[in-house]
Structure 1
Amino acid sequence: MKIALVTIHNVTNYGAILQAYATKIALSKYGEVTVVDYQNQYLNKNMHKVRFEASVHGIKMLVHDLLNLLWRTRLLSRFKHFTDTNLNLTATLGDKDLLEGKLGKFDIYVCGSDQIWNPVVVSPIDKIDPIFFLSFAPDEAKKFSYASSIGHHYFTQEEKQQVQSLLDNFDMISVRESDGKKKLEELLPDKKIFHVVDPTLILPKKEWFSLFNVQQNNEKYILVYSVPRTELIKKAIGYFSQKMGLKIVAIDRMFFPIGKIDKHVRDAGPNEFIQLFANASFIITDSFHGSCFSVNFEKPFACISANKGANRQESLLRLLNIDNRIMYKEEDFESLDLEVDYDEVTPKLEKIRNESLSFIEAAIKV
């Protein structure tokens, strides 16, 4: 069986690359999985060595990339090596190529995960990208989504009509967040919408460690992984480093460090990312995938709210009954237990993991 997977993969985002990899691994149980090397031009800018656009932000980005050029070159090399080695990519294809049928025929077409259905993420003018809704697949083809995400976006009336049309002929639909499920249930009352876990949670800790040949060491450190770099996470770094007396290691690609840290890792690729999470003593993160790996690797952690973007973390941690680990304000730090009872959490994760794997099997066999 030939399976085509469309997802966000051509970016320097750890969560995006690792969810694409995990989805491919999970689907591979049922046939040969090929990741469509779709070139969304807006997303592809992530892979440019030096980025620029005609704006104040674009000038700042240019200066940053030039200052960071040595580390950024290594980072890009590591990401490209990982995707080339692990994703079984098709030839490079644009939207016109796909719509003209240049991908060839597959038995099943899958879209997901990540925020492929959030127009703010995939377009410079906040437009829905139909390719991420499998608009190029033959009408008679079997199609389903796995853990596709709308993020915190709310569809306009025009977008609602477009989404209804694009998803009308899907065989099965699943999303990553509970509020995404509600949004689609309102749009598609005649279709069952499934809530499944992010692909990075489909693979258990043991499998991640085996696939990445994780080498455990005795070094004690607090790992910081931040995407939006909120003020709250900077305060959390100071609070927890003082409370625990451990050094701070930050996966942080910016030229200037996020705060007072001991080790600034600017050039981690996907492999280095997994190693650093696997060996951390405690994790501070405001990233959704940072929370996913913290839970999956059974690490004590503080999830720092990223304000309007926190719905993804809230959805996951509520499922596991540990949403008390989300810190919304500085005063929350004192009440956080430095340990997590994974004897309680891991069985819950295994249950929803198995339910998500059952969804994939049902969608393949429908």
Structure 2
Amino acid sequence: MKIALVTIHNANNYGAIFQAFALQEVLSRYGEVEIVDYENRHVSRSFDLVRLKPTLHGALGAGKDIFRILPRARAIKKFKAFIRTNFKLTDRLSQRDLLQNGLKDFDCYVAGSDQIWNPACVSDRREIDPVYFLDFASNGCRKISYASSLGSYVYDENEKAILKNLLRDFSNISVREKSAKEFLDSLLGGGVSHVLDPTLLLSMEEWLVRLDVNNYKAKLPEEKYILLYTVPKVPLIRKAVDLVAKKMKLKIISLDQGLSAGAAVDRQIRDAGPLEFLKLFAGAEFIVTDSFHGVCFSLNFNKPFMAISPGKHSNRLESLLGGLGLINRLIGSEDELKGFSGFESDCSYREALQSMREASLNYLTRSLEGMGAQSARLNL
């Protein structure tokens, strides 16, 4: 069976790269997988050394890129090397190529994870992109989604009609957040599954061994450290880092390509590639993060962590941590921060995580039933 996977795979973003890799790995148990090398400039612009956009915000962003151009260049080089080494891609195709000419010779098309169904994440104009809804797929072929995400985007009535039409011929639909399941169930009349992010389908051992992380040579900390990984850089991060540093009496290492770490740290690593990311998470004593994928890797690597709520964008974290009985690790206020006591490793969620992982893999088996899934089931 030949499977075409559409996802966000070509971005200077750790979470995007890892979810694409993980889903490719899992789908390969069912057949031959190729990631559709869709050239979406809104996404791939993150690989431009200096990102230029004719807006005030764009000008400020370009200035920041110039000030950190050397570590940025090193990081981008590492990301591109990871993609070349680990992804099996189709030819590079534009939206016009795909929608006008289609993509033939595949038995199944998969709309993958990440925020591919969030117009704000995939379009300069905040428009629904039909490519991420497999609108180019050959007629009669099976179309499914796995952990596709709407993020916190709210569809208006016109967009709901477009969305419903684009999803009408999907065989199976699954999403990453409980809120997205409830929304689509209401829109489509039910039948939507709630599954894990692909990064959680692989165990820690699978991540480290498959990518040979332990043998990757990089100048990483030799002493014990607390890892800070922040994406939206919510203000509460500063106080969270101060509290954890005082409590644990360890140095703070920041994994952040930006000019600032968003908090007081002992060292900021601005040029980490994907393998350094994994190595830093695997070696940390404790993790402070406001990132969804920061939490995913903390869980997978069995690290004690504090998740700082990114406010209105916290539905992903609430869905995941609520399902694992770890909502107390999601901190949204100074009072919650002062009452935090989870500085030690906690294995109580492992059984729930394994159960969710098995349910998610079973979803894929059911979705691909009759297309080689019977043999794949034996290898899960």
TM-score range, shorter chain: over 0.9
1:33 matched residue in structure 2: 33
Between 1:55-64 and 1:283-292, the stretch displaced more is: 55-64
RMSD, aligned CA: 1.4
Any residues of structure 2 matched to 1:1-366 within 5 Å, and which?
1-101=1-101, 103-189=103-189, 191-215=190-214, 219-339=223-343, 342-365=346-369
Offset, 1:205: 1.2
Once residues 14 and 307 of structure 1 are traced to their aligned partners in structure 2, the CA distance between those partners, rounded to angstroms, is 21
Once residues 331 and 181 of structure 2 are traced to their aligned partners in structure 1, the CA distance between those partners, rounded to angstroms, is 25
SS for the counterpart of 1:114 is coil
Offset, 1:334: 2.6
Once residues 345 and 224 of structure 2 are traced to their aligned partners in structure 1, the CA distance between those partners, rounded to angstroms, is 20
Between the aligned residues of both structures, percent identity stands at 45
SS for the counterpart of 1:30 is coil
Residues 319-363 of structure 1: CA deviation (Å, up to 9, x unaligned): 100101010112212322234564321111000000000001111
Residues 199-242 of structure 1: CA deviation (Å, up to 9, x unaligned): 00000111112123233997311100001011111111111111
**Partner amino acid, structure 2, of 1:349:** L
Once residues 25 and 218 of structure 1 are traced to their aligned partners in structure 2, the CA distance between those partners, rounded to angstroms, is 31
**Partner amino acid, structure 1, of 2:210:** L
SS for the counterpart of 1:60 is helix
**Partner amino acid, structure 2, of 1:35:** I
Once residues 111 and 274 of structure 2 are traced to their aligned partners in structure 1, the CA distance between those partners, rounded to angstroms, is 22
Between 1:226-235 and 1:18-27, the stretch displaced more is: 226-235
**Partner amino acid, structure 1, of 2:136:** F
SS for the counterpart of 2:153 is coil
Offset, 1:56: 1.3
Once residues 62 and 199 of structure 1 are traced to their aligned partners in structure 2, the CA distance between those partners, rounded to angstroms, is 32
Once residues 305 and 343 of structure 1 are traced to their aligned partners in structure 2, the CA distance between those partners, rounded to angstroms, is 22
1:119–1:128 CA contact under 8 A, matched in 2? yes
**Partner amino acid, structure 2, of 1:299:** K
Residues 87-109 of structure 1: CA deviation (Å, up to 9, x unaligned): 10111100111123353320110
1:118–1:128 CA contact under 8 A, matched in 2? yes
1:219–1:279 CA contact under 8 A, matched in 2? no
SS for the counterpart of 1:19 is helix
Report the number of matched residues.
365
1:224–1:250 CA contact under 8 A, matched in 2? yes
Once residues 205 and 166 of structure 2 are traced to their aligned partners in structure 1, the CA distance between those partners, rounded to angstroms, is 38
**Partner amino acid, structure 1, of 2:340:** L
Residues 252-286 of structure 1: CA deviation (Å, up to 9, x unaligned): 11123322111111011111110000110000000
Gaps of at least 5 residues in structure 2 are 216-220, 371-380
**Partner amino acid, structure 1, of 2:124:** P
**Partner amino acid, structure 2, of 1:29:** R
SS for the counterpart of 1:25 is helix
**Partner amino acid, structure 2, of 1:156:** D
2:4–2:33 CA contact under 8 A, matched in 1? yes
2:5–2:33 CA contact under 8 A, matched in 1? yes
1:212–1:274 CA contact under 8 A, matched in 2? no
1:214–1:278 CA contact under 8 A, matched in 2? no
Once residues 343 and 55 of structure 1 are traced to their aligned partners in structure 2, the CA distance between those partners, rounded to angstroms, is 47
Once residues 215 and 339 of structure 1 are traced to their aligned partners in structure 2, the CA distance between those partners, rounded to angstroms, is 25
SS for the counterpart of 1:343 is coil
Scaled by the length of structure 2, what TM-score is found? 0.93
